[in-house]
Amino acid sequence: MKRIVFTGGGTAGHIVPNLSLATILHQKGYDIHYIGSENGMEKNMVALYPYITYHSIPCVKLIRSLTWENLKIPFVLCKSIKQAKKVLQNIQPDVIFSKGGYVSLPTVLAAKDIPIIAHESDMSLGLANKIIYQNAKKMCFTFPNIPKKYIKKGVFTGPIIHPKFYKTNASIIKKQYQFSSSKPNLLVVGGSLGAQSINQMIQDHLSLLTSRYNIIHIVGKGKQNKKIHQKYYVQVEFVQDIENYYAWADLIITRGGSNAIHEILFMQKPMLIIPLSKKSSRGDQIDNALSFSKRGIAHVLLEENMTIFTLLESLKEVYKYTNIIQDNMKKEKNINGTQKIISLIEDYACPKTKK
């Protein structure tokens, strides 16, 4: 039985794609292992998959500001690499699949003579993937137009889409909540960790927004405001069956996380992207959002320009041009790169075709 190690964590954006691939490869008979952090959300998410063996190592994240905490990084990283080496020696995997991020880095750096396939969700490589690229056999890109310096190992595959997105059921959501049949359904998704500025904007103007839309608001774990009781408005912290919520929605507000916007693209749903600003990120969500905007498959509202008036106007534009947006979505290529990536993993897992 061939063994595959997956690594990546910190946010659902690094974890869910790994679990999607792991599900398919398990069905093909592969022995699946996952190396993640000791206390990250990946540990709890992987626990829901009994066929995946989880191995925890210490991990440390770079904080994008001046802080003494960053001084710990070299010491924790050395410890992480040492522990990852032991885990890999015990598992003896045929291939490692890395989703990027700080959780992936120790495992990739610890790997010796083990082929590594990596995947970048965003338009531009993150810091960890820039390092991982040096050790990888192939770097899979979600967006087209791979930068020239990554052409040698780069492969445009498209995003990883979970098989469950082929079997959606909007009626499950319709039956669960009491909404108006005369209003469009608006889904607000802030990501697995939530989006504070979007959450606040929605909840501060509920009366106005619910006069126009039925709203389901995924606020993020621990972000639910139990004092709010508003007709035609439901808030939930996190959902496992996001595909059914997408199917229910007529339009969607989302951050610019690559996994989410590509899932919505796959579902052919008009979206308003409000990307995380450069004050809180490296600007990757803005790049992702602008790429979608230029291709006519999403409308973008920058966080610094968000007011209730610009939000309402943007939603109006998205809903007005739904047909045009969906027509543009249908023209997109490689909206599901899962099978391409599965084939790459299997190529390197099989000694006869190992490159």
Q: Which residues, 6 or more positions from 311, have their beta carbon under 8 angstroms from its beta carbon?
A: 201, 301
CB neighbourhood size of 151 (10 A): 9
pLDDT score for 64? 58
Residue 171 binned pLDDT confidence (cut-offs 50, 70, 90):
very high
Token match 């889904």: residue?
A: 187
Residue 355 binned pLDDT confidence (cut-offs 50, 70, 90):
very low
Q: Are the folds of 3-160+337-353 and 169-330 the same? A: yes
pLDDT score for 39? 87
Residue 316 has which token pair? Answer: 């109006």
In sequence order, what DSSP letters do the residues of 126-147 get, joined into one string? -HHHHHHHHH-SEEEESSSS--
Domain ranges of the chain: 3-160+337-353, 169-330
Tell me the Ramachandran region of residue 103: left when phi exceeds 0, alpha when psi lies from -120 to 50, beta otherwise: alpha
If one compares 72 and 216, the residue with the highest pLDDT of the two is 216
Residue 246 confidence (pLDDT) above 70: yes
Residue 112 confidence (pLDDT) above 50: yes
Q: Which residues, 6 or more positions from 251, have their beta carbon under 8 angstroms from its beta carbon?
A: 184, 185, 186, 187, 269, 270, 271, 272, 315, 318, 319, 322
Distance (Å, rounded) from C-alpha 355 to C-alpha 283? Answer: 35
Residue 351 binned pLDDT confidence (cut-offs 50, 70, 90):
low
In sequence order, what DSSP letters do the residues of 45-105 get, joined into one string? HHTT-TTEEEEEE------SS--GGGGGHHHHHHHHHHHHHHHHHHH--SEEEE--STTTH
**Bridge-partner residues for 154, per DSSP?**
139
Give the SS3 label for residue 155.
Answer: strand
pTM: predicted TM-score of the whole model, two decimal places: 0.89
What pLDDT, in 10s, does the model give residues 43-99? 999 999 999 999 999 877 755 566 666 667 777 788 999 999 999 999 999 999 999
pLDDT score for 353? 45
Q: At what angle do helices 322-330 and 308-320 cross, to 10 degrees?
A: 60
Distance (Å, rounded) from C-alpha 76 to C-alpha 74? Answer: 6
Calculate the average pLDDT of the chain.
92
pLDDT score for 58? 86
CATH superfamily of 3-160+337-353: Glycogen Phosphorylase B; (3.40.50.2000)
Percent of the chain clearing pLDDT 90 (strictly above) = 77
Residue 23 confidence (pLDDT) above 70: yes
Buried b / exposed e along 82-119 (16+ C-beta atoms within 10 A)? ebbbebbeebebbbbbbbbbbbbbbbbbbbeebbbbbb
CATH superfamily of 169-330: Glycogen Phosphorylase B; (3.40.50.2000)
What pLDDT, in 10s, does the model give residues 252-301? 999 999 999 999 999 999 999 999 988 777 789 999 999 999 999 999 99
Nearest to 151 by CA among 129, 126, 128, 133: 133
pLDDT score for 101? 86
Residue 354 confidence (pLDDT) above 60: no
Distance (Å, rounded) from C-alpha 208 to C-alpha 103? Answer: 42
Q: Is residue 343 within a helix (H) or strand (E), and if so which, with residue range?
A: helix 338-349
Residue 304 confidence (pLDDT) above 60: yes
